[in-house]
Amino acid sequence: MTNHWVDIKNTDLVLIMGGNAAEAHPCGFKWVTEAKAHRKAKLIVVDPRFTRSAAVADFYAPIRAGTDIAFLGGLINYLLINDKIQHEYVKNYTDFSFLVKEEYGFEDGIFTGYNAEKRSYDKSTWGYQIGKDGFVLTDPSLENPRCVYRMMKAHYSRYTPDMVSTICGTPKDAFLKICAMAAETSAPNKAMTIMYALGWTQHSQGTQMIRTAAMVQLLLGNIGVAGGGMNALRGHSNIQGLTDLGLLSNLLPGYMTLPSDAEQDYKTYIEKRAFKPMRPGQMSYWQNYGKFFVSTMKAWYGDAATAENNWAYDWLPKLDKGYDILQVFENMNNGSVNGYICQGFNPLAAAPCKVKVSGSLAKLKFLVTIDPLATETSEFWQNHGEYNDVDPTKIATEVFRLPSTCFAEEDGSLVSSSRVLQWHWKAAEPPGDALGDQEILAGIFLKVRELYKKDGGAFPDPILNLTWKHRQPYSPSPEELAKEFSGRALKEVTDPKDATKVLVKAGEQINGFGELRDDGSTACGCWIFAGCWSEKGNLMARRDNSDPYGIGQTLNWAFAWPANRRILYNRASCDPSGKPYDPKRKVIGWDAGVGKWTGSDIPDFKADSAPEEGMNPFIMNPEGVARFFAIDKMAEGPFPEHYEPMESPLLNNPLHPKNDQARANPAARVFKGDWVTFGKPDKFPYVCTTYRLTEHFHFWTKHVKTSAIIQPEQFVEMGEELAKEKGIKSGDHVRVKSNRGFIVAVAVVTKRVPTLNVGGKKVHTVGVPIHWGFMGLAKNGYITNSLTPFVGDANTQTPEFKAFIVNIEKV
Amino acid sequence: MALQSLDIKARSATTTPSPAVRGEAIKVAKLIDISKCIGCKACQVACMEWNDLRDEVGTNAGTYDNPRDLTDQSWTVMRFAEVEVQAGKLEWLIRKDGCMHCADPGCLKACPAPGAIVQYTNGIVDFHEENCIGCGYCITGCPFNIPRISKKDGKAYKCTLCSDRVAVGMEPACVKTCPTGAILFGSKDDMIHHAEGRITDLKERGYQNAGLYDPSGVGGTHVMYVLQHADQPGLYNNLPKDPHISPMVSLWKGVTKPLASFALGLAVFAGFFHYVTSGPNEVKDEEHTS
Amino acid sequence: MQVTRRQFFKICAAGVSGSSLAVLGFSPTDALAEVRTFKLARTTETRNTCPYCSVGCGILIYSLGDKSKNAPAEIIHIEGDPDHPVNRGTLCPKGAGLLDFVQSPSRLKHPEYRAPGAKEWKRISWDEAFTRIAKLMKDDRDKNFIAKNDKGDTVNRWVSTGMLAASASSNETGYLTHKIARSLGMLAFDNQARV
Amino acid sequence: MSEQVVTRYKVSERANHWVTAISFILLAASGLALFHPAFFFMNNLLGGGTWSRILHPFIGVVMVVSFFIFATQLWSQNKITAADREWQKHLGDILCNKATQLPEIGKYNIGQKYLFWILVITIALLLVSGVVMWQPWFTPIFPIVLVRLASLVHAIAGFIAILAIIVHIYSAYWVKGSVRGMTRGTVTAAWAKHHHPGWYKDISKGNR
């Protein structure tokens, strides 16, 4: 979230799209009801289903699953045509006036540089025009046809209300009503917040859906302000933390990235990431990349990381490609993966195309599961009748099932979607012989290390030199680990402007990432968390909930990254002269008297940079401004374009009916063997979307009696019209089939799943909740991911769980 | 917990007044704002958890309603209704069903077991299972069809409004947990005041018939609803428009009770007086001998 | 048997007085009402956060006993933390039922092992588990570790064993997991951010 | 001088009567206990409120069975005749022990016949309504409106039955020499001649 849960109460308009906050995040959704109650805010819900969020909305509009870019692109077109944009904001804080390279182009759904064979782009033409001074060329008059504003206007002019309605199936008047409501928040003192979640990420073009929405928010001047923002409602309790800590194939802690094979030279690795400003006077905070990197390597490898060995740069594994979960299961299926460790993760239930996942797991030599609960994955080899029909005698995988503690039996911190790191305390001992995750990790790692020490082996250096300064080596304490990622000074750290001024003494915890150095004098396991455990103590455990400004910032409650900021980009809540756009919801403002930015939040800015200096609010971007034109950052194009889901009820993309290449996302990765697993609408005519219900959490709560009681049995939802056509009544059992598998479940026939008119064609939707499986207290059911396609978003490889095609029949 | 006799306003099957009739205490109420309810069932779970109830893991009957009805283990359930009050505008009305804690409780009136049902001065109507004999009369007395008899111990159960929590100054479990603030708890006056604000807001949002459900037929209730369509409570899974204790129950447990008891007493007395005044009907001796 | 007139009077008198006393409420089974005992009165309260979604609600865990040596704590109730600025004491249906997660019959209690082709689990000790897993990992790493790619570039990666990290585990666990995974050269490393 | 006696009730009739009677007393006591708090103490007869609630319907079934067997035995003798109506006109005098010129009535006078028919009707009603009210077995099957109606009917029928039985018991007590008919099975010939001359004639004929 750019903003945070409580801040939603400051909004004037809430758009829930690509998510279902009331069901998936009820306690966070509370702040929507607060905004409605105390600010007379309105709530809009756009969703293929009339969800429980829609039940309390002021306005609901249906949409065909997977067509959100068309909807939002239409909204951009509306705002530009009707001039409903926050002029001062876009002119100063975005790349509106930046000039785009002459070579860049877009034709019939494909951007310049496409390689159809590789299904990827050469992005060299996707950039700004750079002047002789090394800075981007701009045209503040916005007259130049190559300026981002004009390019964008032209790009989205095709997204007319009629086209939106044709693609999305949303009635035109409903679409226009939402446009008009959103447009009102272009006023500088009005804010709209967008709340989204997996309903946007889980598409083959999910990242671009989110970008399109962010562009809407920028046009309206709603980023950085109280009650505004792009608010990703994260899933698991610490998925934010694990992402922050870089537990993904290609990341290092704090959104640093692993080197690729080609990056053999340490210096070029750093230089490529330490972006120089692209406009004069801008901060470009990533310039400090080296400080963050060296400090992480010092935390990991201690004295073994030296200037001489480039801080152990070569010890890091280098990427030949991404190894996301889909790629790994593809490799496993090909027999090139032998071992797999599932720590609190149930991929048999959670990953797409169960038949492929199950077959892949059976090819492993060993599987280790670490979990408090008995997961489906841990028993993938066991025959569970129709729900998991396998022959154990034919599966040669060695499986270990290690019992771990749950939240109530451990100390530690979690990062909420608001980016707040909160400490929690142990209340009881775990059941039986269960151990904490840290003890299990230590148990395995120290055994591996012992073997390498004793017998040697392949490249043991990083294993033998990994820092392990724990008072109880077999039980590293959360306090020790938290202090390690928060960071400490190895040598005295002084003020760069005044070497006599000591900022931190050697051996002390640092106060923030501003104190990190690239000379090996600081160690910090995750730079964005820096300062969460300083010499003042464990700031994550703070419990002062006072809110002196009354807009919900509570700066003394726990610790938010970065630097305890609660609203990101908050400099953009002020006009260029430093005055808040809405004084009633002041986040920060320039206080000329003290020469500092002050207010209810920590400024996301150089605290003493006066407005006259011209530094712009988006300090992480080398331009200092927000980008409408994504340059080379996205896989499928600098401007989001609507493509059909990989499986869609339409045979072509209504925007490019004649270009088959532009039907679905041209840059989405599809593994060779998977093309044949995609279905065609003649056999699978209905759109299917999978989702979560408020009564359950993923695949855990079927083990929980209370949840099993309030939502006991697997079901699928369908509209009354489809049910009538198929002779299905509520309570009947139906079979839902995709080209990859089937499930059988109870039918819930409802008015809440509308039949859509998509370009004159009737499109029915079938909704399938995900929560059931063959373990636990709830009634056993089929794994919903038996149905889903093995394809992901072109940028993140997030599987396309939200839009594919199926057929149904009564059983 | 101390005996609560000073806090008792009425007691089932008790003909004398309770101590608390001497004065007034602050009345509490739970306000359920259906326009804010997202049907998440957190209240159901909180109720189960606090009161140590666990119903059967049931089945899906083609709806979101689970458990499908109130039971001795489910003291509150969400009832879902898809309606189109205005053509083309779908509304999903979700009502939390459970004991309404009537000011004039039909269950208490019908109950034959002394002290099995009590009404506290704060308005809570509570069942005391140790006194309950399991006759089920409370069910017939209730205008909202709430109490349920357990198949295991044969006693009647329903929402206590968490009388154990309220007794120590806390709010009921369902109220505390409600994520959207659709359930509030406080003095009845405050709840009515809050409801007025909500109704104004709903009217501004186009619900012309928004209103408070505090039916006078049962003397008002200590669980009230804010309804978007107060003119049609039936839309909310047949919430009764004008609930009152059934005339059959009133007749049976009202005037009939003392009159009939009196009549029976009178019959005994009549016999007694007849005997005293007229003497026995004996066959005269001469008839024996004849 | 004949009841005399005098006896009859007595019976009637007793009956009348009995029923009139009863009418006045003098019933022998009269019992006073009391509310259920407040079950948290002397429990221990521990502050924690909900492990499900990323709203990060504050919770209060109530356990039996005072944590004295001879009384292992047993969690009996969980409810929302009213001080928490986001949830302010509220909890969703999952959070409100956290007690049943802690006490779930599906909770695992012992390390278990399933041999190739076996149909059942076998209980093993932690040491057996760690020893065997470490051996399997080292064997695979030693065999499949890629120090240099085809071009001769140093790449130091191990991609034949992968790991999925738990997105509900703490930062401390996540940090330690990351450190260990990268020190082994792992790249096939992911978490629940996508699913 | 040994008294001349005639048989009024056979053993089977007496047994049925007393099964019915004892059941009725228990039912009335436990029923009244639930009817008005004044009578709640009577629950103790069956071991307290809960036991009363549990046993009452079972005892009810026992009574219904024994009563209807008994009733079929007496059915034909309880048809109301013209003589009965004539007898009824003298009720005032009878109650004042002043009656002299009475029509010859059979085994039962009209009061007894009324009792018979009242009990046949009320016990049938009590049975039907009782089943509807029978927790926890049958009640859940029926709609609440029906249960409410049943409760009311049960109460009214019970009230009438009890009232009738009070009159019955008193009459038995008041009319000296009656009780032995149901305890020992015989009444004096004088009693029979006096109270049920028609019947006496019949049985006298039969005896001879």
Reported as type and span, the H/E element at residue A23 is helix A21-24
Chains in touch with B (3+ beta-carbon pairs under 8 Å) read: A, C, D
**Which chain B residues contact residue A711 at CB under 8 A?**
41, 60, 64, 66
Residues of C in contact with B118 (CB under 8 A): 33
Residue of B nearest to C98 (CA): B49
Given CA atoms A305, A311, A313, A316 in this order, what sign does their dihedral have?
A: positive
User: What is the rounded CA–CA span in Å between residue A192 and residue A176?
Assistant: 17
Query: Which carries the bigger pLDDT value, residue D95 or residue A379?
Result: A379
CA distances from A319 to A268, A323, A670 (A): 16, 9, 19
pLDDT, tens digit, for every residue of A437-466?
999 999 999 999 999 999 999 999 999 999
Report the residue from C16, C25, C39 with minimal CB separation from B15.
Answer: C25
Residue in chain C lying closest to A427 (CA): C46
Q: Is residue A748 part of a domain?
A: yes
Chains that touch C (3 or more CB pairs under 8 A): A, B, D
The reply to whether A215 falls in a domain is: yes
Residues 131-190 of D with CB under 8 A from C: 173, 179, 183
**What CATH code is carried by the domain that includes residue A780?**
2.40.40.20
Measured CA angle at A753 (ends A749, A754), to 5 deg: 120
Structure tokens at D52: 């009363």
User: Considering only alpha carbons, which residue of chain B is nearest residue C38?
Assistant: B164
Q: pLDDT band at D105, cuts 50/70/90?
A: confident
d(CA A405, CA A373): 9
For residues C86 and A27, is the Cβ–Cβ distance under 8 A? yes
Whole domain around residue A530: which residue ranges? 250-316+477-540
Q: Which residues, at least 6 apart from D15, have a Cβ–Cβ distance to it below 8 Å?
A: none
Can you give the C-alpha Rg of chain D in angstroms? 19
The DSSP output letter for A3 is S
Whether the pLDDT of residue B179 is over 50: the answer is yes
Confidence of residue D99 (pLDDT cuts 50, 70, 90): low
Neighbours of D130 (CB within 10 A): 24
CA distances from D60 to A37, B156, B252, D27, D130 (A): 60, 23, 20, 7, 8
Is residue A599 a part of any domain in this protein? no
Nearest Cα to Cα of residue B105 among B223, B280, B18: B223
DSSP per-residue codes, D94-145: HHTT---S-----SS-HHHHHHHHHHHHHHHHHHHHHHHH-TTTTGGGS-HH
| Structural domain ending residue among the three candidates A540, A559, A586 | A540
C-chain residues within 8 Å CB-CB of B163? 35-36
Given a contact cutoff of 8 angstroms between Cβ atoms, the answer to whether B171 and B181 are in contact is no
Q: Residue D2: what pLDDT?
A: 59
Q: Do B179 and A746 touch (CB under 8 A)?
A: no
The answer to whether C92 contacts B42, with C-beta atoms less than 8 Å apart, is yes
**Do A61 and A210 have their domain in common?**
yes
- Main-chain dihedrals φ then ψ at residue D7, nearest 5 degrees: -80, 125
Find, among A713, A663, A682, A691, the residue nearest to A766 by Cα.
A691
Which residues are CB-contacts of A593 (< 8 A; sequence separation ≥ 6)?
none
Which chain B residues are closer than 8 Å to A58 by Cβ? Answer: 205
Report the distance separating Cα B129 and Cα B134, nearest Å. Answer: 9
Q: A641 lies in a domain?
A: no
At residue A766, the 3 state secondary structure works out as strand
**D28-45 pLDDT per residue, tens:** 999 999 999 999 999 999
Q: How far is C20 from chain D (nearest CA, A)?
A: 8
Do both A47 and A101 map to the same domain?
Answer: yes
The rounded distance, in Å, linking the Cα atoms of D142 and A68 is: 52
By Cβ distance, the residue of C5, C32, C90 closest to B176 is C90
pLDDT band at B25 (very low <50, low <70, confident <90, very high): confident
> Residue B266 has which token pair?
């009178």
* CA dist., res. A706 & res. B49, Å (int): 8
Q: Which residues 108-167 on chain B approach chain A with CB closer than 8 angstroms?
A: none
* Alpha-carbon span B92 to A735, nearest angstrom: 27
Residue that finishes a domain, picked among A540, A562, A593: A540
Question: Hey, which CATH number is domain D11-75+110-174, 1.20.950.20, 3.40.630.30, 3.30.1490.190, 1.10.10.10?
Answer: 1.20.950.20
* Amino acid making up residue A248: L
**H/E run at residue A340:** strand A339-343
Residues 6+ apart with CB under 8 A from A352: A326, A785, A788, A789, A790, A791, A799, A800, A801
Q: Which residues of chain B make contact with C91, given a CB cutoff of 8 A?
A: 42, 46, 177, 179
Check CB contact of D103 with chain B, cutoff 8 Å.
no
Pick from D36, D147, D188: CB nearest B288: D188
- Per the structure, the count of domains in chain A is 4
Phi–psi pair at C66, nearest 5 degrees:
-110, 20
Q: What is the DSSP letter of A652?
A: S
Is position A619 within any domain? no
Which chain D residues are closer than 8 Å to B275 by Cβ? 170, 173-174
Cross-chain residue pair C182–A24, CB shorter than 8 Å: no
Angle between helices A354-361 and A325-333 (to 10 degrees): 60
How remote is the C-alpha of A535 from its chain's centroid? 32
Q: Which residues of B touch D176 (CB under 8 A)?
A: 280-283
The CATH classification number of B5-245 equals 3.30.70.20
Tokens 């009650």 identify what position?
Answer: A227
Burial class (CB in 10 A: 0-12, 13-18, 19+), B263: middle
Q: Is D36 a catalytic residue?
A: no
CB contact under 8 A, C80 and B176: yes
**B203: pLDDT confidence band, cut at 50, 70 and 90?**
very high
Q: Which residues contact B223 (CB under 8 A, 6 or more apart)?
A: B29, B30, B32, B98, B99, B100, B101, B161
Q: Which of D17, D56, D154, D168 is catalytic?
A: D168
What pLDDT score does C24 carry?
A: 42
Q: Are residues A92 and A145 in the same domain?
A: yes
Q: Closest Cα of chain B to D109: distance in Å? A: 15
CATH code, domain carrying A441: 3.40.50.740
- A29 in a domain, yes or no? yes
Nearest of A536, A627, A550 to residue A585 by alpha carbon: A550
Q: Same domain for A84 and A177?
A: yes
Could you tell me if A553 lies within 8 Å of chain C, comparing CB atoms? no
* Chain C: closest CA distance from residue B205 (Å): 26
Question: Token match 């002084």: residue?
Answer: A494
Chains that touch A (3 or more CB pairs under 8 A): B, C
How confident is the model over B100-124, as pLDDT tens digits? 999 999 999 999 999 999 999 999 9
Q: Is A364 on the interface with C (CB under 8 A)?
A: no
| Fold (topology level) of C44-102 | N-terminal domain of TfIIb (2.20.25)
For residue A231, give the H/E element and its range: strand A230-232
Q: Which chain D residues are Cβ-neighbours of B268 within 8 angstroms?
A: 166
Q: Could you say which residues of chain C have pLDDT below 70? A: 1-33
B95 touches chain A (CB under 8 A): no
> Coil, helix or strand for A604?
coil
**Would residue A642 count as lying in a domain?**
no
CB spacing of B82 vs A714 below 8 angstroms: no
Counting as low any pLDDT under 50, the low residues of chain A are none
Site from D25, D35, D41 to mutate, C interface, most C CB atoms within 10 angstroms: D41
Banded model confidence at residue D141, pLDDT cuts 50, 70, 90: very high
Query: Is C2 exposed, middle or buried (CB count within 10 Å of its CB: 0-12, 13-18, 19+)?
Result: exposed
Specify the CATH number for the domain of residue A61: 3.40.228.10
Q: Do chains D and A touch (3 or more CB pairs under 8 A)?
A: no
Residue C6, number of CB atoms within 10 A of its CB: 7
The 3-state secondary structure of A99-153 reads EECCCCCEECCEECCEECCCCEECHHHCCECECCCCCECECCCCCCCCEHHHHHH
Instruction: Give the pLDDT score at A5.
Output: 98
For A733, the closest chain B residue by CA position comes to: B62
Residue A5 lies in a domain: no
Is the distance from CB of B97 to CB of B158 less than 8 angstroms? no
Q: What pLDDT, on a 0 to 100 scale, did the predictor assign at position D203?
A: 85
Do A459 and A358 lie in one domain? The reply is yes
Q: Which percentage of chain B shows pLDDT scores above 70?
A: 96
Do B288 and D155 make contact, defined as CB atoms within 8 angstroms?
Answer: no
User: Residue C166's closest chain A neighbor by CA?
Assistant: A344
Looking at the structure, do residues A430 and A481 belong to the same domain, yes or no? Answer: no
CB A298 within 8 Å of CB A465: no
Q: H/E element holding A758?
A: strand A756-758
Among candidates A45, A52, A78, A73, which has minimal Cα distance to A185? A78
Residue A526: alpha-carbon gap to chain centroid: 19
Could you give the CA distance from residue A493 to residue A516 in angstroms, rounded to a whole number? 8
Contact A797 C109 (CB under 8 A): no
Q: What is the dihedral of CA C93, C98, C104, C108, to 10 degrees?
A: 130
Distances (CA, A) of A131 to A97, A136, A614, A631: 14, 6, 19, 16
- Mean pLDDT of the residues in chain B: 93
Tell me the backbone φ, ψ of residue A428, rounded to 5 degrees: -160, 170
Q: Are C144 and C158 in contact (CB under 8 A)?
A: yes
User: Which pLDDT score is estimated for C23?
Assistant: 43
Q: Which chains touch D (3 or more CB pairs under 8 A)?
A: B, C
Residues from chain C contacting residue D33 (CB–CB below 8 Å): none
For residue B149, what are the β-bridge partners?
B156
Q: Do C27 and D173 touch (CB under 8 A)?
A: no
Query: Of A444, A430, A442, which Cα lies nearest the Cα of A474?
Result: A442
| C-alpha pair distances (Å), B10 with each of A592, B104, B116 | 68, 10, 11
Task: Note whether A503 and A495 are within 8 A (CB).
Answer: yes
For residue A749, the one-letter residue type is V
Measured distance CA(A558)–CA(A667) in Å, rounded: 41
